[in-house]
Amino acid sequence: MAGLLLGCWLAVSAIAAPNSSVQQAAIRATPQGYVLDAGIDIVLNPTLEDALSKGINLHFLLELELSRPRNWWLDEDIAEPVRRQRIYYHLLLRRYVVEIGYTTQTAASLGEALALLGRVDGWQVLDRGALKTGKRYDARLRLRLDTDQLPRPLSIGAVTSDQWDLVTPWYEWSFTAPPIPAPSPPLP
């Protein structure tokens, strides 16, 4: 009986376990074009946490899909930018390192490092003129572990194991393209 209760408890806790997800996302206009701001809650499973603590790099892809809906034809694909991100534990420094593009930051704890990895501030996704002001656009955003970047022995196992799988559900929203603000005048 105790074994049955323990089995039920484990099944319920597995269902209730938190998963990674995009919490919010928005496109805004800047003088250079359009940027994405987003917040992603990243939850690593024990296998990924263990790999990270042993110095294995975890590479992530932040994928954005932008399209313009059309009534008379298929939706127009506007852009599909991808941002590469990486997190690893530096064994000598005893700190987590988060690399996003050309920016590197360190964190004392895994929670702090995952918060850095999940914060997207001002990611340039489109140039000026890529969107038509006042038109409606649809967007989808997700974050996923890039298992192709794992060391060879692990990437082979990642194909057959869901313990190496981390992907957020697509976060979908619609927005009206805001006007591009005028560039600020140069300082005297």
Q: Give the angle subtended at the CA of 144 by the CAs of 46 and 42, to the nearest 5°.
A: 50
Domain ranges for the chain: 19-173
Please, which residues bridge with residue 144 across strands?
Answer: 61, 167
CB-CB contact of 47 with 56 (8 Å): no
Structural tokens at position 59: 């590479």
Q: Write out the two tokens for 111.
A: 């929670």
Residue 108, number of CB atoms within 10 A of its CB: 11
Give the residue carrying structure tokens 């024990």: 46
Name which residue leads in pLDDT, 114 or 11: 114
- DSSP summary character for residue 115: H
**What confidence tens digit (pLDDT) does each residue in 60-115 have?**
999 999 999 988 888 889 999 999 999 999 988 899 999 998 899 999 999 999 99
pTM attached to this predicted model? 0.82
| Residue range 100-154, pLDDT digits in tens | 988 999 999 999 999 999 999 999 999 998 999 999 999 999 999 998 888 765 5
